[in-house]
Structure 1
Amino acid sequence: MVEPGVVHVFLSRGRFSSGEDIRDYVDERWSGNGDAEPSAFMAHAGIAELEPMCVEVVHARDDGHLTPVVPEVLLRDASYADQWLPHVESTEPADAAICVFTPNVVANPHGTPLHYLGGFTYRT
């Protein structure tokens, strides 16, 4: 039997002007000697070791303009959304989202300046 995974979902409105801005906030950096350094998001959310292939970022743009939309629209193309998105109760418009999937462990989800929607289960 496959153990369910958990996706932690974070929303933002007006914080990131581009997909590059949100990646700069999420992605690890590398020091001059090749050591991984945690990103601001990793530090805020309490993620000790990031598996980058299990983090998705969404940035809502329509004709080059930021367009806040409800989570149901913003997140509809995220991985496994058909399983967990129906459980999202928020209707708060957002223009960016970060979805952190298992095996990543989020120890401090409320430590970020983003709106934390919660952790939702899914099966692969």
Structure 2
Amino acid sequence: MTEASVVHIFLSRGRFSSFEDIRDYVDEGWSENGDAEPSVFMGEAGIAKLEPMCVEVIHAQDDGHRAPVVPEVLLREASYADQWLPQVKSTEPADAAICVFAPNVVTNPHGTSLHYLGRFTYRA
């Protein structure tokens, strides 16, 4: 039997104008010397080393929605959503989300400038 994995969900409403805007907030940058520089999100959430393939960014306009929607709608296409989305009880509308999956470790989830929805379990 596989061990339960964890996903951390962060929501936003009105902060990001596009998918590229939210990616700029999440993705590592590079110095002039070619060294990786942590993103604003990595610093706020306390992610020491980011595994970018295990972070999903969702922007409602990219899904064809023009206005904020409830998490159940916004997050339904995220990985393993069939397992963890039923655990989400929030109906707060949002137009962007960040899903941080293991092996990423989030040490300061409430330190971000986003709404931290919570940590949810699933089986990979």
Provide the TM-score with structure 1 as the length reference: 0.96
Q: CA deviation at 1:65?
A: 7.0
1:13 aligns to 2:18 (yes or no): no
Mark the runs of 5 or more structure 1 residues left unpaired by the alignment. none
Q: Which residue of 2 aligns with 1:120?
A: 120
Which whole-Å CA distance do the structure 1 matches of 2:20 and 2:117 have between them? 23
Percentage of identical aligned residues: 81
Q: Which residue of 2 aligns with 1:58?
A: 58
Letter of the structure 2 residue corresponding to residue 25 of structure 1 = Y
Provide the TM-score with structure 2 as the length reference: 0.96
Which range moved further: 71-80 or 58-67? 58-67
8 Å CA contact retained: 1:14, 1:95: yes
Matches within 5 A, 1:79-94: 79-94=79-94
Mark the runs of 5 or more structure 2 residues left unpaired by the alignment. none
Give SS of 2:82's match: helix
Q: CA deviation at 1:66?
A: 3.9
Q: Which residue of 2 aligns with 1:48?
A: 48
Letter of the structure 2 residue corresponding to residue 122 of structure 1 = Y
Q: CA deviation at 1:61?
A: 1.1
Which whole-Å CA distance do the structure 2 matches of 1:65 and 1:77 have between them? 13
Aligned length: 124
Letter of the structure 1 residue corresponding to residue 73 of structure 2 = V
Q: Which residue of 2 aligns with 1:25?
A: 25
Which whole-Å CA distance do the structure 2 matches of 1:104 and 1:56 have between them? 12
Q: CA deviation at 1:63?
A: 9.2
Letter of the structure 1 residue corresponding to residue 90 of structure 2 = S
Which whole-Å CA distance do the structure 2 matches of 1:26 and 1:42 have between them? 7
Q: CA deviation at 1:33?
A: 1.2
Q: CA deviation at 1:12?
A: 0.1
Letter of the structure 1 residue corresponding to residue 18 of structure 2 = S
Runs of 4+ in 1 over 6 A off after TM superposition: 62-65
Question: What do residues 29-72 of structure 1 show as CA deviations (whole Å, max 9, x unaligned)?
Answer: 01111111100000000000000000000000179774200000
8 Å CA contact retained: 1:17, 1:66: no
Which whole-Å CA distance do the structure 1 matches of 2:116 and 2:78 have between them? 16
